[in-house]
């Protein structure tokens, strides 16, 4: 007799996620002790040695609730039972930037990345499920932050792999039950102070009740489609960004050559030929004909490259810069976060930090 269907589903997903990792390399499971990460850890301990890999476990102690250190120690002790070695508890200090959820997430990922580098791991497996993906899509929809936000979490992103994105939370709970594992229910996962908890406990059940079952699956499917679209648009924008930069550099070189021919070197900067190394210069002609979705991605990329923090550049900022291209009336420059300004001069859009 084979394994329970839920166990088989989780193992199959983990096997696919591990495929392609170099033989003999180490994959680490980020485990809290909840049903999702516990099912993931059990599957990784089963599958890794069968595919020529080693598997270990990391658990993060955020120190945000009483008994967190004891819970982390319990998860570490489970590792040997699941065939995972090495196993470590990582204690972190959670800051305040961005609110409690974001601060905890930032501290967690920093700790995981540091441990993975120290241990020489090829991948870190995360236990996000289809339900988590649905919640992420709804949160992105509420923020109105565009296709990339609606694309949710990727199955693979750099060091991280998320094998369970196609599986439900009910599947991971069933897998734990079949394996005799007792998941830990984090009290924070039921605390309505957190936005994600309210989406999980209130919003999604209402949608399921009013629209019928399958809403979470439909939202996860939407995320896959949006991710494909966003990836294609981002690739197009990256190519357009490079082309617009090269066209601006060529225009600057030609302006300098013309100025030299006219023996008027002091005209070269006015013609757009004197860019600081950190300035981002883009040829307006290369951008003007692009679809808005691509053009505004180029502008966001340019703002960040010029020094504006990615999280601080809003849609309003990008729309204002876009008007320098699409509604040019000789207007003044646009101020962007971190002292960056965008100006249009002689057919060139320049994004640079203000002096001083």
Q: Which two tokens stand for residue 37?
A: 């990460």
CB atoms within 10 A of CB 159: 15
Measure the CA angle with vertex 164, ends 158 and 167; round to 5°. 150
d(CA 294, CA 298): 6
pLDDT for the residue numbered 145:
64
Would you say residue 223 lies in a domain?
A: no
Would you say residue 221 lies in a domain?
A: no
Parent domain of 63: 5-213
Q: Are residues 144 and 36 in the same domain?
A: yes
Q: Which two tokens stand for residue 176?
A: 């734990």
Q: What is the CATH number of the domain that holds 111?
A: 3.40.50.620
Q: Which among 162, 185, 213 is the end of a domain?
A: 213
Q: Would you say 20 is a known binding-site residue?
A: no
Query: pLDDT by residue for the chain (356 residues), tens digit each?
Result: 789 999 999 999 999 999 989 999 999 999 999 999 999 999 999 999 999 999 999 999 887 777 788 999 999 999 999 999 999 999 988 777 767 777 888 889 999 999 999 999 999 999 999 999 999 999 888 877 678 878 889 999 999 999 999 999 999 999 999 999 999 887 777 778 788 889 998 999 999 898 988 999 999 999 999 999 999 999 999 999 999 999 999 988 887 788 777 754 444 444 444 445 558 999 999 999 999 999 999 999 999 999 999 878 988 999 999 999 999 999 999 999 999 999 999 999 999 998 76
pLDDT for the residue numbered 45:
97
d(CA 260, CA 278): 24
Would you say residue 195 lies in a domain?
A: yes
Would you say residue 220 lies in a domain?
A: no
Q: Which among 213, 242, 258 is the end of a domain?
A: 213
Q: Would you say 36 is a known binding-site residue?
A: yes
Phi, psi of 343 (to 5 degrees): -135, 155
With beta carbons less than 8 A apart as the criterion, state whether 110 and 197 touch. no
38 closest CA partner among 29, 27, 47: 29
Q: Are residues 196 and 304 in the same domain?
A: no
Q: Which among 153, 183, 213 is the end of a domain?
A: 213
Strand order in the sheet with 348-353: 280-283, 348-353, 340-345, 334-336
DSSP result, 302-356:
HHHHHT--GGG--HHHHHHHHHHHHS-SSPPPEEEGGGEEEEEETTEEEEEEPP-
Q: Would you say 292 is a known binding-site residue?
A: no
Would you say residue 219 lies in a domain?
A: no
Q: Would you say 157 is a known binding-site residue?
A: no
94 closest CA partner among 62, 61, 71, 65: 62
Q: How many structural domains does the chain have? A: 2
pLDDT for the residue numbered 53:
97
Q: Would you say 32 is a known binding-site residue?
A: yes
Measure the CA angle with vertex 179, ends 177 and 181; round to 5°. 65
122 closest CA partner among 40, 19, 11, 45: 19
Angle between helices 292-306 and 315-326 in degrees, nearest 10: 110
With beta carbons less than 8 A apart as the criterion, state whether 196 and 101 touch. yes
25 Cβ contact list (under 8 Å, min separation 6):
53, 54, 121, 122, 123
Q: Would you say 154 is a known binding-site residue?
A: no
């Amino acid at each position: 007799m084979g394994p329970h269907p839920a166990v088989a589903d989780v193992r199959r997903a983990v096997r696919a996620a591990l495929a392609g990792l170099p033989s003999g390399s180490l994959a680490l499971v980020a485990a809290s002790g909840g049903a999702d990460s516990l099912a993931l850890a059990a599957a990784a301990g089963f599958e890794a040695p069968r595919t020529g890999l080693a598997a270990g476990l990391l658990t993060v102690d955020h120190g945000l609730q009483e008994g967190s250190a004891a819970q982390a120690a319990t998860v570490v002790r489970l590792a040997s039972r699941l065939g995972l070695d090495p196993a470590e508890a990582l204690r972190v200090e959670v800051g305040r930037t961005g609110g409690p959820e974001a601060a905890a997430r930032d501290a967690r990922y920093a700790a995981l990345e540091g441990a993975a580098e120290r241990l020489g791991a090829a991948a870190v497996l995360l236990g996000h499920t289809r339900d988590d993906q649905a919640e992420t899509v709804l949160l992105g929809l509420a923020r109105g932050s565009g296709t990339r936000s609606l694309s949710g979490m990727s199955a693979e992103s750099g060091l991280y792999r998320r094998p369970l994105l196609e599986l439900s939370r009910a599947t991971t709970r069933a897998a734990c039950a079949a394996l005799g594992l007792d998941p830990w229910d984090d009290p924070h996962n039921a605390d309505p102070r957190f936005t994600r908890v309210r989406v999980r406990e209130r919003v999604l059940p209402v949608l399921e009740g009013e629209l019928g079952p399958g809403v979470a699956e439909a939202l996860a499917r939407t995320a896959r489609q949006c991710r494909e679209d966003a990836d294609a648009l981002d690739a197009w924008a990256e190519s357009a960004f490079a082309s617009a930069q090269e066209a601006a550099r060529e225009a600057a070189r030609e302006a300098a050559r013309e100025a030299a021919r006219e023996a008027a070197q002091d005209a070269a900067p006015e013609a757009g030929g004197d860019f600081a190394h950190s300035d981002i210069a883009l040829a307006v002609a290369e951008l003007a004909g692009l679809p808005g979705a691509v053009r505004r991605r180029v502008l966001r990329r340019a703002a960040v490259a010029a020094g504006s923090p990615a999280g601080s550049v809003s849609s309003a900022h990008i729309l204002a810069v876009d008007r320098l291209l699409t509604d040019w009336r000789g207007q003044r420059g646009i101020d962007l976060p971190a002292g960056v300004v965008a100006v249009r001069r002689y057919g060139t859009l320049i994004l640079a930090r203000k002096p001083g």
